[in-house]
A and B are shown apart, each in its own frame.
Chain A
């Protein structure tokens, strides 16, 4: 009986191909929209996670000054290199500490120039930011301490200044400083915020202070904490130490800020996930609207086929058999729409993922859910018209023209 009903439903749908297609269009679009949103959203979240992981997961950033509220901030006294040394010495569970000062400077090689981010720091900077050397070497101790004119450059700088050629040993000019390229960093790509992490020149902090900044200040301190350590505790220890070193009385606010990369990561993934959820919810509404479209057409169909229903009832179809016939038709329609929607969604997702440069994450759960939901929409919105058909009076239905 069910098999016959299914065949009958498919035949009925094929009789009106164009109308059936238009009927399920709402479902197709709804299902496709939900799947695309979730797939692309999942890809974006994954990308954010990957990028944050590439930045170094247990990263803390200590910056001078603190915003207290709108338009209010504390005095912005810079750190000294001794602050970084004190943290490395006095705070437990720290893997590496890098005092960092940066400035945007035009780098010149031959007749090429490229404005890049010049960072004064030490070898531990690479460890903290999860970077490594592709070719060449790190700074030697004497270079770090003595302010030698050497630098390690990122991929982008290599490309822009040297056209990607082998450049170890060449000299580039940063303002009045002419420094020798001793190492090239492994490429890292875009950061979460969209900036190019390979557009960088690293020089020893002492060189930066003497030859570029002209003072002994340190812009910020970046440090990485050992795995499996509560960063919160380390954070408190740093705050305590720095308050002491900066001679703050208990009533004073911190005039520095300690940021945890984990917090930022959570905030960012939280935002993407929330956007995904919101957009999916909007898409789900369109699925419901699609359901109403199906109900509409099923009602039209019941009216058109009143006579047929009358014949079936007179000949011996039970109420529930007529109900089932129309219900199956609605469900076949809507789940067919679901299947087309899934196919469409996968095509569009693959394409969109490529265009938006996010990884394509196939989410089997949402595909299955969307399909089941589309079938459920068929039952939900097919039930009323089917009930209407089943309740028809055979005599009246047979008289219907």
Chain B
């Protein structure tokens, strides 16, 4: 990991007056209407809200996949709004990890190779890559399944592979977009335990979008979105 200046009063993520408008003129759709948000290192934040409330848009901006129409986004001391597309890609590559609702693994590619993928873009040499990927798969409890392709794995296992892929680079922030959306209750709780452990034991900052209260309950802090604004922002008493 690259060492960065860590002062407790400097937030990891800070949004100031973030707006996002799709389209122009009459057809303009205001997805975000001015979000102020501050997330510190090692937090576990759940983002909730009905569909269309802007939570996914906000996640995309936080994840540097999208840019805001107006407002400032500071990631550590970096002004994300001023970065080029390639610079944002590098930011994702080195500091961010993603877990998606639909798993988004490469088909017909083994679990091991899926996990290795972000390391390839980091130019990690072959042997180290393999070692780190195996470690990561072990962390999510998938040793022995390395050579299986997503088609041969259950939904829960696929999401574990996706988590292994997200954490193999030891990211500063893990973004999870409805990670349990496609899983049954038992699998969902397994995945949430896994994410909670990562947050507690490895200090990974987690930002998770969910619409299930059960899942949000794992987080230390819950933010509710409504109509493009933060409706509430509450601490959760440390989660489950």
- B89–A316 touching, CB < 8 Å: yes
Give the distance to chain B from A318, nearest Cβ to Cβ, in Å.
5
A15, A314, A395: residue with the most chain B Cβ atoms closer than 10 Å: A314
**A296-317 interface code vs B (CB 8 A; 1 in, 0 out):** 0000000000011011111111
The yes or no answer to B156 lying at the interface (CB within 8 A) is: no
The yes or no answer to A1 lying at the interface (CB within 8 A) is: yes
Give the distance to chain B from A395, nearest Cβ to Cβ, in Å.
5
**B23-67 interface code vs A (CB 8 A; 1 in, 0 out):** 000000000000000000000000000000000000010010110
> Which stretch from B74-82, B119-127, B204-212 is at the chain A interface?
B119-127
- A398–B93 touching, CB < 8 Å: no
The yes or no answer to B98 lying at the interface (CB within 8 A) is: yes
Interface residues on B, range: 20 to 34
Chain A residues within 8 Å of B90, by CB: 316, 318
Chain A residues within 8 Å of B229, by CB: none
**B151-178 interface code vs A (CB 8 A; 1 in, 0 out):** 0000000000000010000000000000
> Which stretch from B1-9, B11-19, B100-108, B184-192 is at the chain A interface?
B100-108
- A398–B86 touching, CB < 8 Å: no
Chain A residues within 8 Å of B104, by CB: 307, 310-311, 314, 398
Give the distance to chain A from B235, nearest Cβ to Cβ, in Å.
30
Q: Please, which residue of chain B has its CB at the minimum distance from the CB of A5?
A: B120
Number of A residues near B (Cβ < 8 Å) is 19
The yes or no answer to B142 lying at the interface (CB within 8 A) is: no
Residues from 109 to 142 in B contacting A, C-beta threshold 8 Å: 117-118, 120-123
- B65–A395 touching, CB < 8 Å: yes
Give the distance to chain B from A233, nearest Cβ to Cβ, in Å.
74
Q: Please, which residue of chain A has its CB at the minimum distance from the CB of B114?
A: A311
- A15–B92 touching, CB < 8 Å: no
- B117–A319 touching, CB < 8 Å: no
Q: Please, which residue of chain B has its CB at the minimum distance from the CB of A4?
A: B120
The yes or no answer to B85 lying at the interface (CB within 8 A) is: yes
- A321–B121 touching, CB < 8 Å: yes
Residues from 13 to 51 in A contacting B, C-beta threshold 8 Å: 15
Per the bound structure, the CA–CA distance linking A18 and B70 in Å amounts to 50
The yes or no answer to A394 lying at the interface (CB within 8 A) is: yes
Q: A308-B106, A395-B66, A398-B104 are in contact. Are A315 and B117 (CB under 8 A)?
A: yes
Chain A residues within 8 Å of B121, by CB: 312, 315-318, 321
- B66–A319 touching, CB < 8 Å: no
Chain A residues within 8 Å of B66, by CB: 395
Q: Which of the residues A310, A315, A319 comes within 8 Å of B92, measured between beta carbons?
A: A315
Given A314-B98, A315-B93, A315-B118, 4 other A-B contacts at CB below 8 A? Answer: A1-B120, A315-B92, A316-B118, A318-B121
29 pairs across A/B with beta carbons < 8 Å?
Answer: A1-B123, A4-B120, A15-B108, A307-B104, A308-B106, A310-B104, A311-B104, A311-B105, A311-B117, A314-B63, A314-B92, A314-B104, A315-B121, A316-B90, A316-B94, A316-B118, A316-B121, A316-B122, A317-B121, A318-B86, A318-B89, A318-B90, A319-B85, A319-B89, A321-B121, A395-B60, A395-B65, A398-B100, A398-B104
Residues of chain A touching chain B, judged by Cβ–Cβ distance below 8 Å, are 1, 4, 15, 307-308, 310-319, 321, 394-395, 398
